[in-house]
A = this chain, B = another copy of it.
Amino acid sequence: MSTPQAENITMSAGGRYSLATAGARDVIDGATKLVVRAIGEVPVAAVDGVFTMSDMGCADGGTSLGMVRTAIGAVRERFGRAAVKVVYADQPRNDFNALARIVHGLGGFDGYLEEFDGVFPLFSATSFYRAIVPPGGLHLGFSATAMHWLSGKPGDLAAHVHAVGAVGDEREKFAAQARADWQTILLRRAEELAPGGQLVLVVFCMDERGRYLGNTGGVNMFARFNALWRGFVEEGAVTEGEYRAMTLPQFYRTVEEFRAPFEGEGAAARAGLELLEMETRVVPCPFAAYFKMHGDADKFATAYIPTLRTWSESVFYGALSTARAGGERRAIVDNFYRAYGDEVRNHPDGHAMDYVHAYMRIRKTR
């Protein structure tokens, strides 16, 4: 890519996100039962001709096509001929061109628009830290694998790339930011939701056994990220400052942290939100599962690395000094994923990006 926009790398363009992230689709498919249950409990009186749902942090929309199709079917079953607005939201540097084409059937995926009349897809570049739709008009808010991204980075970590490796004050800063951000997310949703409207939120977590993304018993993915990146400093490929700047603005909350604002005088409870159900689930890495069948380490590495790359690349790139030529920054990032790929090729066992999520269903009671 040689366009000026390529400087602002976010998700990979043109549907590749969906192809590279079969696991993300499995996660959403696993939430579809919750979505159907939520729609079944939205009061009929709350929907006056239009049912509005949102997909927050939708990326290119490819992974949620099946969920949205099922949701529309459930809406039609319960609310008859109500029009359905599907509001896809992601941050302004998302690939909205890919999103528009995929949702409208030009992206090589089976869409749902051909199947239904009266469905109105809309796209929003408003962050889920703000209200995306006007007050009181949302019937179902959905989000998968997005709300672990913090609203900002509370600081650079001295010795790790992710808060899962932080300790002491550094960890507490991230935890505090995550607490504040979770509250903001819920309060904005409380504004958006119609009385009786529901949320289905699927958020990366640290589960009851301490597991989290890429750390479910085998190789710890973030530890490898960190070790390889640290190695780049030692080789002189990146500076100490660039090493530190590569701090992912993410946090994996525990179920206790998710639950806190709903309890007692918590902010979500006061805003009329009720946590109806929550469970944690591990969705196995499809690439590692496939590797167990075929046993070809090279094939595994070639397929596996892009799925790590989709969501981490822009942060590595952004950590590199803008004083470097654009091509140099890109080359370092390429080298980084090549090094990770080589490691997987040479020692494939235990590598897996298993997904660890909390699945929550929440109701606006008034």
A residues near B (Cβ < 8 Å) are 1-5, 13-14, 49-50, 83, 85, 87, 92-97, 99-101, 103-104, 106, 118, 120-126, 131-137
Residues from chain B with Cβ under 8 Å of A136 in the complex: 49
What number of copies of this chain does the assembly contain? 2
A197 to B97, CA, bound (A): 31
Name A's interface SS.
loop
A356 to B49, CA, bound (A): 40
Asked if B92 and A137 make an inter-chain contact with CB atoms under 8 angstroms apart, the answer reads no
A352 to B229, CA, bound (A): 58
Asked if B123 and A96 make an inter-chain contact with CB atoms under 8 angstroms apart, the answer reads yes
A103 to B124, CA, bound (A): 10
The answer to whether A104 and B125 touch (CB under 8 A), given A13-B5, A49-B136, A97-B96, is yes
Q: How far is the CB of A55 from chain B (nearest CB, A)?
A: 13
Asked if A125 and B120 make an inter-chain contact with CB atoms under 8 angstroms apart, the answer reads no
16 A-B contacts, Cβ less than 8 Å apart?
A5-B14, A49-B134, A50-B134, A50-B137, A83-B135, A92-B104, A92-B106, A93-B101, A96-B97, A96-B123, A104-B126, A120-B132, A120-B134, A122-B122, A123-B123, A123-B124
Q: Which of B2, B49, B93 contacts A2 (CB 8 A)?
A: B2
Q: Which of B3, B49, B103, B120 contacts A1 (CB 8 A)?
A: B3
Q: Which of B13, B93, B125 contacts A103 (CB 8 A)?
A: B125
Residues from chain B with Cβ under 8 Å of A49 in the complex: 134-136
Q: Which of B87, B101, B122, B125 contacts A100 (CB 8 A)?
A: B125
Residues from chain B with Cβ under 8 Å of A2 in the complex: 1-2
A278 to B186, CA, bound (A): 48
A49 to B191, CA, bound (A): 13
